Structure 1
Amino acid sequence: MPDPLTYILADDDELYREYTLQQLNSIPGLQCLCTCENALITREQLQHFQPDLLVLDVEMPGLTGIQLAKSLKQLPFTIFITSHTSYAADAFELDAVDYLVKPVKPERMLRAIDKVKVLANIKATTPAAEAFQTKDEESFFIKDKNVFLKIAYADLLYAESLGDFVHLFLQNGEKKIALVSLKNLEQQLPHHLFVRISRTHLINIQKVTALDNEAVHIGKIQLLIGKTYAENAMNVIVGKQAIKRFI
């Protein structure tokens, strides 16, 4: 039987903290290390316990959950909980596994924990050297469960960061997970085919169907461009190919 996933729960609202704790206690395979009422206490407990998972309220006095996450060099798997959807972009910029809006339904919490379990299992069972390997000028391999899966560069639409992992979105609509950071993936993929457009996204240049100052469009998918990446992304994607009014 695998070891339980350890977690810390942080929420300044005592009633909601207890409500969330009850939800988590009903899910097999989890072990609560402690609960915290503010971000500063949470920071201390993270350094002491080093849990697998942090379930973190966004709106806390003094230091918010987002600010706490930004202050840490290394985050465990993190699920943000909040009363407002407006924080979602910030949460995913921090590579959150999930973002839940209060009141969280039990089935929604269960789905979020299932995501964490999948990632934790991949991390525990996949040697780093086997997680991602370039094959040739046209493809690469990822370790998918116990199988090496070959993916053609032409089939990869874009990659999305999830801390030590990436989600790979494929042409056929499938989504795969690879145990490699977006930074390392960027270094290994051909630079003439792929470009980083934000902290969280790396795209296949050949799949771009439209581009403006704020977003890249891949068919019906819209991905926001980070300000610090905008100039390079525009140059790499468009370059000298744009039709000019005057020559």
Structure 2
Amino acid sequence: MSKLANLLFLSLFTTSVMASGSVISSQTEKDTDHDKVFDIYDSSPEQKVKTMSIEDLPMIQLSRISGNFNNKIEKGRYRIGDKVTLTGMGIDKIKDPVVVIYDNVRSYNVKQVESGNKGITFQLSVPQGKYKVFVYNNDKRTNDLYLEPFAADAPLIFGSTSVILTKGEEHTITGTGFDTDTKVEFGDISIKPTRVSNDSLSFKVPKSTNVRDFQVRNKLAKSNSIRVFKYN
């Protein structure tokens, strides 16, 4: 895709996102002090926001980004368009949060969030990319976390990040985005599932493999990888 086509796509994507009322973009919003917090939300738009320190009480520290699937939290597993939840120390003390997502060339502010004891939850409606995220509140900002979502159409595997498998035996995984075109991949070995639904998939572990991780793939994208701790 050409650079011009990429810019056109981002422009159309941002317009669509803004129409939802949940995300606004640096392509349209003013940020006088260039601190990624747009002037409409920034209580001091001409002075860069300061990062919270241990002297600030209550102490607030982001620690994790998770996918939120019907209130089931999956650490580090989320796609473009999914609900995600930020958790950490003291996060329930933030009363009027603005989630700020940015990279080297663009930034997004999310005001439409659900905030409570379980964290800050919002719809991840940004283009595909690698970002950082922080939360702004009352003229202060939290630490950054890295944000790297999977593609919108990617399947995801839930549960433990490592498993013990028995060669030649059936193994079942849970997740989301599975379909009849989904295959399980052990390196160069591609396996058709024995049973599959949108949120569950069973397959026979190949007898000839010693590959130390596997993933699933549909026609559009691949999932997160699961580490094989040991084969029996």
* TM-score (structure 1 length as normaliser): 0.26
More strand by share: 2
1 or 2 for the larger relative contact order (CA 8 Å, sep ≥6)? 2
